[in-house]
Amino acid sequence: MPYEPPTHTVERSLRATTGAKIIAGVDEVGRGAWAGPVTVCAAITGLRRPPAGLTDSKLLTVKRRTELAAELQQWVTSYALGHASPEEIDDLGMTAALRLAAVRALETLPVRPDAVILDGKHDYLGAPWKVRTVIKGDRSCVAVAAASVLAKVQRDKMMAELGIDHADFGFADNAGYPSPVHKAALEVRGPTPYHRLSWAYLDALPQWRHLKKARSWAEGSVPEIEGQLGFDF
């Protein structure tokens, strides 16, 4: 399906209205997975023409996404990745875990951005970072699209490596997201050390429900696990 290529429109707007010179695009992957970390990439691209075919990582084939990530690693001005572990997700909730991973990525960049373009409608980053949220920013903004591809390819690689000792779960194919293979393995073997144990899927597994962790974060303000998938899918 044809799609409009991303542009520097938001970045140019930020430069004009705020005086920001160094702007990072930020995107996450792994928010809705049952297992593995949530991963955030921060990418700085400047205003150069991006590689052909750059868009939201979810719109790309695995082969093209992998090729593009290798190209982006050489093309971007700089990029960095941050992760929050399943244990941190369980302890802090997803919103705080996303912020932790994003801060880790941003603080690893060789230069501190003057502003951040954050994919989505919710600012999970907050002060002291100057944030512009953009719905579907991974399709419309060059830096966010680059971050999307780099984050997805890196996390998929991590999940494949984690899955070597847990072949029944199919992590190399599903990256810790729900799938029939993943569901079947959970029913028989229970969660691995890489699973998020505060999540709702355990409610549908009576033999493993005793492993579920109680949520320790405050509920009722921000939805902490936005988009969390239940066991029925």
* Buried/exposed 29-39: b ≥16 CB within 10 Å, e otherwise: bbbbbbbbbbb
CB 161 within 8 A of CB 154: no
Beta-bridged to residue 35, according to DSSP, are: 195
Residue type at 120?
Answer: G
119 labelled binding-site residue = yes
Q: Break the chain down into helix, strand, coil percent, rounded to 5.
A: 45, 15, 40
CA distance readout (Å), 133 to 102, 188, 196, 232: 14, 42, 27, 31
91 labelled binding-site residue = no
- Token pair in block for residue 92: 């802090």
CB 191 within 8 A of CB 211: yes
Kindly write down the DSSP assignment for every residue of 75-119, as one continuous string: HSSEEEEEEE-HHHHHHH-HHHHHHHHHHHHHHHSSS--SEEEEE
Q: Is 103 exposed, middle or buried (0-12, 13-18, 19+ CB in 10 A)?
A: middle
CA separation for the pair 104, 102 (Å, rounded): 5
28 labelled binding-site residue = yes
CA distance readout (Å), 231 to 1, 180, 184: 31, 10, 11
Query: Which residues are annotated binding-site positions for a divalent metal cation?
Result: 27-28, 119
Annotated binding-site residue numbers: 27-28, 119
